[in-house]
Amino acid sequence: MKFIDLSIPLGIGTPAWPTYEPLQVKYFKRLAPNGANGQLVTHSNHLGTHLDGEIHFYTPGKDIASLTLDFLTGPGVVVDLSDIAGDYDIYTSQMVEERVDVHEGDILIIHTGFHHFGWDQPTADEIAYMVKHPGPDREFAEWCKAKKIKWIGVDCGSADHPMNTIIRNWMPRQAKEADAHFQAKYGQPLADVFTDDKYQLMHIEMFPYGIIHAECVGGDIDLLLN
């Protein structure tokens, strides 16, 4: 058996989801004059490579401690969409199925290539990583339900399209770019594609079905590309 690490490094430079507490480290005692070094480490639970639990968006849902190892492990596929899903693009179930065989109950890891914009990379670009990455529409979510996907992983800031999150309001310059992109590529304004009833659908509409996801996947994911 071979293990491949799909996590990103954790440090004070690791970007947290906007408004979430980043990693903070401070000394509360030092070798001189206190006789020992002691540090206090704090961070939110939405930092670095992490798995969103159902309870994150679904009140009666399971927390992470309730998940079994049987659920967390199992057959899965890694699909490389990096050459067809770029800035602000929408990826679809058809794109996935054209490249890999996905079976009922699989774990699905989506490689967009945006992990190369991660904070520890030579090509680091936090805005690209958190704000410009591709994401799905409701069609993809419904396909995941039909396939009974066990859980999903993405190599970027969110399993949702960033413009289908609060980021659209927080980053107006990029929202304007995305709107122009949507009109040019999809023939519709951003607001007509991601309507209010679709808001954060990969979280709100999926977690009640037990389909959760890991965000900020990275590490050695390139070793697994087909």
- Is 9 within the bounds of a domain? no
Beta bridge partners of 135: 90
- Is 24 within the bounds of a domain? no
- Is 163 within the bounds of a domain? yes
- Find out whether 44 and 16 touch, Cβ atoms under 8 Å: yes
- Is 23 within the bounds of a domain? no
Q: What angle do CA 129, 130, 136 make, to 5 degrees?
A: 95
- Find out whether 37 and 31 touch, Cβ atoms under 8 Å: yes
* Total tally of structural domains belonging to the chain: 1
The CATH number of residue 119's host domain is 3.50.30.50
- Is 20 within the bounds of a domain? no
- Is 138 within the bounds of a domain? yes
- Is 42 within the bounds of a domain? no
- pTM, to two decimals: 0.93
**Residues in CB range of 62: below 8 A, 6 or more apart:** 53, 54, 55, 210
* Per-residue pLDDT of the chain in tens (226 residues, 90 and over written 9): 899 999 999 999 999 998 899 999 999 999 999 999 999 999 998 899 999 999 999 999 999 999 999 999 999 999 999 999 999 999 999 999 999 999 999 999 999 999 999 999 999 999 999 999 999 999 999 999 999 999 999 999 999 999 999 999 999 999 999 999 999 999 999 999 999 999 999 999 999 999 999 999 999 999 999 7
**Domain of 159?**
50-224
- Is 192 within the bounds of a domain? yes
- Find out whether 47 and 59 touch, Cβ atoms under 8 Å: no
Q: What is the DSSP letter of 66?
A: G
- Find out whether 18 and 170 touch, Cβ atoms under 8 Å: yes
Q: In what order do the strands lie in the sheet with 151-154?
A: 50-52, 212-215, 151-154, 107-111, 76-80
**Residue bearing tokens 């699989």:** 106
| Cα gap 139→210, rounded to integer Å | 18
Residue 159 burial class via C-beta count within 10 angstroms: exposed 0-12, middle 13-18, buried 19 and up: buried
